[in-house]
A and B are shown apart, each in its own frame.
Chain A
Amino acid sequence: MEIHIAHYLIVAGILFSIGLVGVVVRRNAIVVLMCLELMLNAANLVFVAFARMHGNMQGRIFVFFAITVAAAEAAVMLAIIIAVYRQRETVNTDDMDIMQG
């Protein structure tokens, strides 16, 4: 049984879709954030897979950056969530509708 790059890509697709569904259906801001992280990781997987395929380093370096950015993003996002929680006593995204038109 041979494993092709396509297999990896499909796994990445599945992960991305799961993350996506999570973002849409979940109400807890932290979980939503986690789902986002999952989607990022799906993307990372694609990078690594293609880097492997082309046999060069660029893709991996990109993943390196992506992880860094994800870390920064997570930090800021969590900070925001904390700030919001202080204001509104909730992290439920349904209650965060101050931007409603």
Chain B
Amino acid sequence: MDDNTVATLAYVILFAPVVAAILITLFTRKSKGISAFLSVGSVVTGGILSVILLFDQLAKGPGTPPVISQFEWAAARDSAIGDIVLNIGVQVDFISILMSTIVGVVGSCIFVYALGYMKGDEGWSRFFAKFAFFAFSMLGITYATNFVQIFIFWELVGVSSYLLIGYFYQKPSATDAGKKAFMTNRIGDFGMTLGILLLFFAVRDVFGAVDGFSFVELQRIFTDEASRTLLFDAMGWKAGLGAFLIFVGAMGKSAQFPLHVWLPDAMEGPTPVSALMHAATMVAAGVYMIVRCYWLFAWAESAMIAIAWIGGITALMAATIAVVQNDIKKILAYSTLSQLGYMVMACGMWGAGAGMFHLATHAFFKALLFMGAGSVIHACHTNDIWEMGGLAKKMKHTTWTFIAGTLALAGIFPLAGFWSKDEILSASHHIAPLYWIGVGVAFLTAFYMGRCVFTAFFGKYRGDGHPHESPAVMWVPLAILAIFAIFGGWVGAPADLNPFGEHGLQSYLLVAYTTVAEGAHQQVINWPTGQGHMAKSLHMNVAVIGTLVAVAGLFVSYLFYGSRKFSAEKAKKMFGPIYTLVSNKYYIDEFYLFLVKKVQQGFANLCSIVEQHIIIGIFVNGLAGGAREAGDKFRKMQTGRVNTYVTMILGGLTLLVFLFVVGKEFWG
């Protein structure tokens, strides 16, 4: 395909959902069928076209230069310092196509699933319009050509998440959760805005009228050693700061500690929303951006260390919380958090390839798990895993797909999760603390997923409904995703195990950015090479340890929840204070609540008091009151008697005459 076709296809992929959303909003709200057709059709079209583009890209081989098509969105012509042009367009290269394929394929499955899940909901058309709009926002990030565009769609993702999480707008907790998501993202965007500005002007400062927003321009500058050195010398410590600030945006979207608080609450949205948002799209955006701008992060050493640690902390913290959750969606939510921390940690240790790979596999099996959970909730009308049980017999399709997802997430050989987890652990196995965090998280992941599966799907049914299998429109997408979850990992496996040999996923990612990362290692830092290059063969001890802890996790959970050899209650008592701490999510929400309700609102009230009593009370009304008081005093002079007035007039006249005539005579 020539560049024009590629760009056109990308535009179609990008704009089809928004066109669908607009059409639904304006015209087809009443006709549910057409709305659903438009919405699902647009995303499925996007998915198919993405796959076509992907194959095209694969055919062209690694290292194909990106296709860029953009138009001017807004501009300021400044002859003195050069024009500032804000562009919108599409940048089509391997990374964006890969991301778009993930979004398209997983999204298609979720959209189809939603057809079943949302059946009978009164806001059907509204839902599908918002859903399509969400897909559009995410694709906008995927195909962004520059920082402004990515920021624009970044915000749009924020707002569509706000709308979708708050879909049940009459439910206070849902609207609050939507608001929380939006606000937390806003805080992330705060950092991102500053980071973008900092970078833009720093580049401008050094290189003159360069488009310091454009990814290709920046990549050119950052990958060229001479220009990079120049820039870094000029920026000094601000380089790391800039990179970190941009990462703050990713922290908001990818729910990294301490901006992770919105994600668990976001489960208030309908389950397809959770699946879409927390598997393939919104939360993936942050990781995607790190990968997209890897040339920037790779050399900002201080920022990278911060990123790695933030990822690690998020992964561990979320995994521990997941262990004590009882709501099936909450378990998956914290699991998502934890896996995102994993990806970010990998990226922070110069393993962007591993991060991106894990993003892809995770998208598949996490979407699968969410939708499986949705199917279960649909059947049992409860979220609490303790009110489920024994579903394996009643919901066969859901059960086996869920188990496939669980095993993939736990990282059992040879499912998808195994390969990507292995990449991550390999990338980090030289940094002891983070490596052990990674291993610990792997254990915990297997444990809490096992806990969930054993409790919900095995044993006796403890609820009081009559669960039954969901309709085909819901379980068929599950099956498709399950296939991906089981076999999808092979594309990224090390070369000697990869069915594509040397031409696996990593080789494409390699050219896209990992060469850069490798360079960074060699120049900036003396750490041994991480996962910058494609692993030729499996890192044996990493793989074995990883698999062993995963199996151990599953086994321990079986002992607790399957065979009930150990009592969970006793363990709870044993870890008393720790249990309280973890089950209260480390009191981070409470802390934020304190900040918002007490500190921020207190400050707002203080400002309001200042406004009311000082500015209005003293200055404005004081002035008015002063005028009135003075008037009151001067009023007394108005005796109403002619004589007084005449006397005053004469007094004044005399004074004037005296001043002007006599005074002028003597002193003038």
8 Å CB contact of A100 from B634, B638, B646, B650: B638
Asked whether B650 lies within 8 Å of A101 as measured between CB atoms, the reply is no
A36 CB to nearest chain B CB (Å): 10
Cβ-defined contact, B640 with A100, below 8 A: yes
Q: Which of A43-51, A60-68, A91-99 contacts B (4 or more CB under 8 A)?
A: A91-99
With an 8 Å Cβ cutoff, the count of chain B residues facing the other chain is 13
With both beta carbons as reference points, the residue of chain A lying nearest to B632 in the complex is identified as A101
Judge if B541 is at the interface, Cβ distance under 8 Å. no
Which A11-38 residues have C-beta < 8 A from chain B? 20, 23-25, 27, 29, 32
| Min C-beta distance of A78 to chain B, whole Å | 15
* Contact of A23 (CB < 8 Å), options: B634, B636, B646: B646
CB-defined contacts of B647 to chain A, threshold 8 Å: 24
Query: Is B642 among interface residues, defined by CB-CB distance under 8 A?
Result: yes
- Rounded to whole angstroms, the CA-CA distance of A23 and B643 in the bound complex is 7
Q: Chain B contacts of A27 at CB under 8 A?
A: 643
For the complex, is B466 an interface residue (Cβ under 8 Å from A)? no
Annotate A62-101 by CB proximity to B: 1 below 8 A, 0 otherwise. Answer: 0000000000000000000000000000000110111111
Residues of A within 8 A of B637 (CB): 101
For residue A101, which residues in chain B have a CB less than 8 angstroms away from its CB?
Answer: 634-640
A interface residues, how many (CB within 8 angstroms): 15
* Contact residue among B634, B638, B643 (Cβ-Cβ distance under 8 Å from A93): B643
- Answer yes or no: B564 CB below 8 A from chain A CBs: no
Cα distance A38–B646 in the bound complex, in angstroms: 16
Which residues of B have CB within 8 Å of A25? 643
- Selected from A24, A29, A93, A96, the residue in CB contact (under 8 A) with B650 is A24
A98 CB contacts on chain B under 8 angstroms? 640
Q: B570 in the interface, Cβ–Cβ < 8 Å? A: no
Query: Which residue of A is nearest B651, CB measured?
Result: A24
> For window 597-656 of chain B, which residues contact chain A by CB distance below 8 Å?
634-643, 646-647, 650
Q: How far is the CA of A25 from the CA of B646 in the complex (A)?
A: 10
Residues of chain A within 8 A (CB-CB) of B641 are 93-94, 96-97, 100
Query: Within the assembled complex, what's the spacing in Å between the Cα atoms of A20 and B637?
Result: 21
A19 shortest CB reach to chain B, Å: 11
A99 to B, closest residue via Cβ: B640
Q: Compute how far the CA of A24 lies from the CA of B644 in the bound complex, rounded to whole angstroms.
A: 8
B606 to chain A, nearest CB (A): 42
Nearest chain B CB to A2's CB is how many angstroms away? 27
Neighbour of A97 across the interface among B634, B635, B639, B650, CB < 8 A: B639
The interface residues of chain B lying within 8 Å CB-to-CB of A99 are: 638, 640
B633 shortest CB reach to chain A, Å: 10
Contacting residue for A94 out of B636, B638, B643, CB 8 A: B643
A93 surroundings in chain B (CB, below 8 A): 641-643
In the complex, A101→B630 CA distance in Å?
A: 13
Residues of A within 8 A of B640 (CB): 96-101
Looking at the assembled complex, report how far the CB atom of A20 sits from the nearest CB atom of chain B, in whole angstroms. Answer: 6
A23, B641: Cα distance in complex, Å? 12
Give bound CA distance, A29 to B635, whole Å.
24
- C-alpha spacing A4/B463, complex, angstroms: 128
In contact, B639 and A20 (Cβ under 8 angstroms): no
Chain B positions 28 through 47: 1 when the CB is less than 8 Å from some CB of chain A, otherwise 0:
00000000000000000000
In the A-B complex, the 4 residue pairs with the smallest Cβ-Cβ separation, listed nearest first, are A101-B638, A100-B640, A97-B640, A101-B635
4 new A-B contacts, CB < 8 A, other than A94-B641, A96-B642, A100-B639, are A24-B643, A24-B646, A27-B643, A97-B639
